[in-house]
Every structure is written in C-alpha cells, then in structure tokens.
C-alpha cells in the first residue's frame, strides 16, 4: 500500500454536511460496481443496494433516520441483506432454496456490511464524503415500505453520500491494544478498562456531551441517553417482528 492510501485510512472521517450538488449518476454507478469486488459468503452475493436521489423520495426517507444531519445528503444508498434474489435464481434453476434461517440472514448481513464498507472506501477515495446511518434497522419496516422492498430483502444500513461541505473533525478511536489481542481474549481489570477508554472519556466533544446531558460519565450518556433500554427494546421487538413477517425463521 502506498503512502497516500495509508494516509487515507489513518485520516478518514465521517461527513455530515454536504454541498448542494449531487454526485453524477455515472460516478455513483462506478463506485457501486467496483464495490461488488468485495468478499462475500460463498460468492452468493446476498446483498443489494437501493440508490435514492429524487428529492421527494429523499424527503420521505429522512424521518426514518430521525432527520439526522447526514440524512440531508443528496444521495442515500440503502444497503440490504438480500436472500430473495438468490432464492429466485434457485427456483428458476430447479433448486429448492432454504436461506430464510439464522445462518442465511447472518451471511446476508455480513455480505451487506462488507459491501457497504467497500462503497464507503471507494467513494471517499474519489473525494466524496460519506456517513453510515446506523439508524436503518430501527425503522426497517418504514424504510422497506418506502423503497418497496419485497420479503427476504432487509435494509441493514444506509450510506449518505455527497461532496463534503468543509472538513469535519476526526473522532477519537480506541487504542490498538483495546481491540487486538494475541492468541486469546484477555480479562481486563477495572483500571485497565478505564485506561483503554481514556481516549473516549477525555475527548473534548465527549466531555461536552456528558455536561450537556447532566451525566457523570460518558458511559452514562450511552446507557441512559443514546441507547437506553426504553428505546432499544421496542426497536428490537419491531425489527424482530419485521424479520418474522419477512419469512425468516429465527
């Protein structure tokens, strides 16, 4: 890997503010085509992507993403775990598909996630800005209805894409030793855990979140404000029901 590519990975950041002009259809198509060289499970390619660029359709999708700033991008690419297309190929080829189970869904979600990351990397290397909208599974039924997704096609993530409006600050990351272990998973003591998360706790923007929300620690912001059980449990039940209605046997 040359130095330019190394710098890209070390310096990449999510973009949440975009200029008005949309990337050309040709550029987006080329990115999505090149990203299909991503690895996938058994070369089944259990993923699909729906590109939304029509202003009216974008406006209809944004509430499902809680109208967060990045959802104002001129292009939204909804990446789906897709077993339906492969099932249809099996059916017209005199084969009996059996992929609507936990293994089939897991393989499709993994395929979709890898494809999405490839899209993000290629797009950013073209000078575009992107942001991963992790809110997609919260309102999967509404997104599926807006995009007319059939059963067996599950939206798992959305990528906001556009030309960046300015250079956003880079977020903090855990140190390597917090994520990568040699030979076996370690058991961290309390002080070691605190040290591993010190970069997050000390990050200025995070300290601001703590103060604004009247909390004592950043962890409390995550557990009590951003991802409390009072919201995550209903969204989990909603997504589980959506998957069941889509025919998955979980």
Map out the domains of the chain with their CATH numbers. 3-168 (3.40.109.10)
At residue 95, φ and ψ (nearest 5 deg) are -125, 155
State the distance between the two ends of the chain, measured CA to CA, in whole angstroms.
Answer: 41
- Binned at pLDDT 50, 70 and 90, residue 2 comes out as very low
**Cα–Cα dist 113/132, whole Å:** 11
Please give the pLDDT value at position 6.
78
Please give the pLDDT value at position 1.
38
CA neighbor of 46 nearest in space, from 88, 76, 84, 77 = 84
Q: pLDDT tens-digit profile of 172-217?
A: 999 999 999 999 999 999 999 999 999 999 999 999 999 999 999 9
CA neighbor of 37 nearest in space, from 24, 27, 22, 47 = 47
State mean pLDDT over 93-112.
97
Q: pLDDT tens-digit profile of 205-232?
A: 999 999 999 999 999 999 999 999 999 9
Please give the pLDDT value at position 107.
98
Q: pLDDT tens-digit profile of 151-174?
A: 999 999 999 999 999 999 999 999
At residue 78, φ and ψ (nearest 5 deg) are -90, 115
State mean pLDDT over 6-28.
94
Residues 104/183, Cβ–Cβ less than 8 Å = no
Angle formed by the axes of helices 229-245 and 140-147, nearest 10°? 40
Q: What is the DSSP string of 51-71?
A: EE--HHHHHHHGGGGTT-GGG
Contacts of 159 (CB under 8 A, 6+ apart): 76, 77, 79, 116, 119, 120, 123, 130, 131, 132, 133
Please give the pLDDT value at position 5.
75
Residues 14/131, Cβ–Cβ less than 8 Å = yes
Please give the pLDDT value at position 4.
62
Q: pLDDT tens-digit profile of 30-86?
A: 999 999 999 999 999 999 999 999 999 999 999 999 999 999 999 999 999 999 999
CA neighbor of 46 nearest in space, from 110, 91, 90 = 110
Residues 46/111, Cβ–Cβ less than 8 Å = yes
Contacts of 59 (CB under 8 A, 6+ apart): none
Contacts of 160 (CB under 8 A, 6+ apart): 15, 16, 18, 70, 71, 72, 73, 75, 76, 130, 131, 133
């Amino acid at each position: 890997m040359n130095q330019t590519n190394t710098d890209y990975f070390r310096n990449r950041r999510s973009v949440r503010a975009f200029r008005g002009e949309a990337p050309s259809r040709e550029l987006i198509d080329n990115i999505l085509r090149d990203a299909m060289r991503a690895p996938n499970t058994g070369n089944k390619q259990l993923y699909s992507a729906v590109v939304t660029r029509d202003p009216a359709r974008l406006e209809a999708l944004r509430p499902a993403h809680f109208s967060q700033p990045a959802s104002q991008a001129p292009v939204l690419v909804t990446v789906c775990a897709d077993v339906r297309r492969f099932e249809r190929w099996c059916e017209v080829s005199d084969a009996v598909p059996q992929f609507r189970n936990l293994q089939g869904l897991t393989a499709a979600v993994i395929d979709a996630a890898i494809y999405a990351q490839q899209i993000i990397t290629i797009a950013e290397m073209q000078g575009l800005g992107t942001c991963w909208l992790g809110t997609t599974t919260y309102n999967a039924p509404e997104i599926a209805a807006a995009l007319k997704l059939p059963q067996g096609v599950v939206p798992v993530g959305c990528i906001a894409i556009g030309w960046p409006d300015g250079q956003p600050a880079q977020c903090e990351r855990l140190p390597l030793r917090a994520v990568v272990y040699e030979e076996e998973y370690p058991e961290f003591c309390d002080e070691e855990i605190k040290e591993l998360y010190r970069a997050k706790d000390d990050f200025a923007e995070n300290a601001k979140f703590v103060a604004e929300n009247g909390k004592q620690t950043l962890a409390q912001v995550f557990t009590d404000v951003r991802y409390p059980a009072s919201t995550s449990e209903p969204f989990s039940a909603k997504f589980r029901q959506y998957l069941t209605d889509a025919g998955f046997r979980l």
